[in-house]
Amino acid sequence: SSPGGPTPPFTTLSVSPPATVVTHVELHRPEKRNATYKAFWGEMVECFTQIAVDLDCRVVVVSDAGEVFTAGVDFMDMASEVLKPEGDGMARTSWNMRRIIAMYQETFTVIEKCLKPVVVAVQGACVGGVDLITACDIRLCTQDAWFQVKEVDIGLAADVGTLQRLPKVIGSRSLVNELALTARKMYADEAKESGLVRYGYNACGFVPRISDHSVAEGLNYMATWNMSMLQMEDVMKSAVASMEKKSPKTITFSRL
């Protein structure tokens, strides 16, 4: 963890200049358990855009400050933008929502497109951070790490990369469906067995990236899907329940 806090002009990231060709990017909001908020999405794009043209950098390591990798999205901060997008009428509101989702998707796509190998080191909870880590080339974790695709708990579909990249990483659509539909925790042993991560922070290497246009197509589909779904009142109620640590009401449907 970097003791000096975020690196200006960033407010959510601590970025170390290349040391022996390695640039260290640290999620730096430990007081909020590295929960992502509005500034983070643009700052990651700016950070990796700079890294892409930095001739002194050959490898990037992404890690976290504090005790956990990330606690997910800070809905208290982002509620006005995500849950109440601007727009006059359904069509304009939907189009504006789609623009916002596409902007968030770029936050992790820029990591996937980076020509430098990107290694991510995860400790503790990685809630909602599966979007980020699956965009990286190499994923390492500590024994106490665990992973969770959390969106279903507030009635959302993961729309910034998990559903597109995770199946390609672990090779099991069934497991991805289970994780996405139940929001259960995947602990380090299972994550290692599935191929999502490797243990330890002392390994580094490079695996050539295979271009796959279906990821881009999948991201485009999710932006279109959620531009309408995020406007549902149920989503707002679920988000509020989550922030208040309450369980949302469930409804059982019977077959006709």
**Predicted local confidence at residue 112, as pLDDT:** 95
Q: What number is the average pLDDT over the span 41-47?
A: 95
**Predicted local confidence at residue 147, as pLDDT:** 97
CA distance 186 to 172: 14
**Predicted local confidence at residue 1, as pLDDT:** 53
Percent of the chain at pLDDT > 90 equals 53
Cα 127-133-138 angle, rounded to 5 deg: 140
Q: How confident is the model at residue 52 (pLDDT cuts 50, 70, 90)?
A: very high
pLDDT tens, position by position, 78-133: 666 665 666 677 888 888 888 888 998 999 999 999 999 999 999 999 998 999 99
> Residue ranges of the domains in the chain?
13-243
Q: What number is the average pLDDT over the span 163-190?
A: 94
Exposed/middle/buried for 247, CB within 10 Å: 0-12, 13-18, 19+? Answer: exposed
Q: How confident is the model at residue 18 (pLDDT cuts 50, 70, 90)?
A: confident
Q: What's the CATH number of domain 13-243, 3.90.226.10, 3.40.50.2300, 3.40.1160.10, 3.40.50.300?
A: 3.90.226.10
- The answer, yes or no, to whether residue 2 has pLDDT greater than 90, is no
- The answer, yes or no, to whether residue 212 has pLDDT greater than 60, is no
Which residue bears the tokens 């729309």?
159
Task: Tell me the torsion sign for CA atoms 100, 147, 76, 234.
Answer: positive
CA distance 63 to 138: 12
pLDDT tens, position by position, 147-170: 999 888 877 888 888 999 999 999
Q: What number is the average pLDDT over the span 212-227?
A: 76
Given a contact cutoff of 8 angstroms between Cβ atoms, the answer to whether 173 and 167 are in contact is yes
Q: How confident is the model at residue 251 (pLDDT cuts 50, 70, 90)?
A: very low
Q: What is the pLDDT of the chain when averaged over all its residues? A: 83
